[in-house]
Amino acid sequence: MLKLENISYSVSDKKILDNISLSFSVGKKYSILGTNGAGKSTIGYLIMGLEDYKPTEGKIFLDGKDITQKNVYERSRLGITLMWQEPARYEGLNVYTYLTLGGKLDVTKDEVEEALEKVGLDPFLYMKRFVDKSLSGGERKRVELASIILLKPKYVIFDEPDSGIDIMSLDMINNIVDYVVSYGGTPIVITHREEMAYNTDEAYLLCAGKILAHDNTKKVIEIFKNLCNACDHPNVPVTKELKIDGR
Ligand SMILES: Nc1ncnc2c1ncn2[C@@H]1O[C@H](COP(=O)(O)OP(=O)(O)OP(=O)(O)O)[C@@H](O)[C@H]1O
């Protein structure tokens, strides 16, 4: 189980996450839902342990062990992976080398081809392409999804997995989220779109760095639709609203 306990995160006095607790169990699909700027990606970066993303307060536990001070490489070795909203570029690295970790990953060429097919990329056209700016953002995102199929990480944070990928591919992304559960991993989908969250079992609704709701996804989506879609002050905490109104 991956657990975030009473996490707060501030950047130069700005509180981006405010005393939030989340837990992710094996065998379930999770989403973190919220409007733009709610703090969703920041949760992903804190789980991944990126530089400059250590909690100001609170702790992160993996299977009961405190990993709060572990860096991104150590967490990656523990099986935590982040699929970036904006996929990275790797100059001079072709798709095959990238997907096989330079030949270190124990996979066959057939398995690599199969993974590329699953994400809608023709292996014969893409295997030797470079994972640099010559691939579109959507193509790089698909290559990253293929890497999840091959690497089988324990915890996969999908940060806005559908951004840059056409709407027709929602099923393909959902298939990969399902696949993560099938091999015993735990997918965490970060999204501002309810369509993307539908396929998950449990959801956290985030607003202004706080958890507004945590329940089964269908219930949380209802709250999101009623509260957030109709909200005229997204990510402005209620206390501020009250002050503005002078009440
Ligand atoms: N390093 C930083 N310095 C100042 N503000 C920051 C920093 N990082 C994030 N923020 C702010 O924190 C808030 C949450 O950002 P975050 O990217 O986590 O939101 P999000 O919910 O993922 O949004 P989106 O859906 O647009 O990707 C935003 O208002 C953002 O501008």
pLDDT tens, position by position, 97-149: 999 988 889 999 999 999 999 999 999 999 999 998 899 888 998 999 999 99
CA atoms within 13 A on the CB side of 34: 26
Average pLDDT, the chain: 90
Ordered domains of the chain (ranges, CATH):
2-245 (3.40.50.300)
Tell me how far the alpha carbon of residue 216 lies from the centroid of ligand 1, in angstroms: 25
Does the Cβ of 51 fall within 6 Å of ligand 1?
Answer: no
How confident is residue 247, by pLDDT bands cut at 50, 70 and 90?
Answer: very low
The preferred substitution site among 16, 158, 196 for testing ligand 1, maximizing ligand atoms within 8 Å of CB, is 16
Per 3-state DSSP, the chain is made up of helix, strand and coil in percentages (nearest 5) of 35, 25, 40
The finding on whether 210 has its CB within 6 A of some atom of ligand 1 is no
Written as six digits, the tokens of 122 are 């023709």
pLDDT of residue 245: 39
Atom 31 of ligand 1, nearest CA residue: 37
Given the structure tokens 């967490």, which residue do they identify? 75
Protein residue whose Cα sits closest to atom 7 of ligand 1: 11
Give the Å distance between the CA of 39 and the centre of ligand 1: 5
pLDDT digits (tens, 9 = 90+) for 36-79: 899 999 999 999 999 999 999 999 999 999 999 999 999 999 99
Q: Which of 181, 176, 214, 211 is nearest to 196 (CA)?
A: 176
Residue nearest atom 30 of ligand 1, based on CA coordinates: 37
SS3 138: helix
Which pLDDT band, with edges at 50, 70 and 90, does 241 fall under?
A: very low
Range scoring the smallest mean pLDDT among 14-18, 41-45, 90-94, 191-195: 90-94
User: What is the Å distance from ligand 1's center to 194 Cα?
Assistant: 19
Ligand 1 center to residue 37 CA distance, Å? Answer: 5
Ligand 1 binding pocket includes 37 (Cβ within 6 Å): yes
> What is the reported pTM?
0.91
Task: Give the Cα separation of 132 and 42 in Å (integer).
Answer: 25
User: ipTM of this model?
Assistant: 0.95
What region, left, alpha or beta, does residue 29 occupy, with left being phi > 0 and alpha being psi -120 to 50 degrees?
Answer: beta
Distances (CA, A) of 82 to 48, 79, 220, 233: 7, 10, 24, 30
pLDDT for residue 244: 36
Q: Which of these, 148, 132, 137, lies nearest to 79 by C-alpha position?
A: 148
The pLDDT of residue 239: 45
Q: How many CB atoms lie within 10 A of CB 120?
A: 16
Q: Nearest-CA neighbor of 189 among 55, 54, 34, 60? A: 34
Cα→Cα distances 88→141, 142, 173, 180, 235, Å: 9, 12, 18, 21, 28
- pLDDT single digits (tens) 144-190: 999 999 999 999 999 998 887 776 688 889 999 999 999 999 999 99
Return the pLDDT at 238: 53
Give the number of the atom of ligand 1 that is nearest the alpha carbon of residue 39.
Answer: 18
Q: Closest residue (by CA) to atom 10 of ligand 1?
A: 16
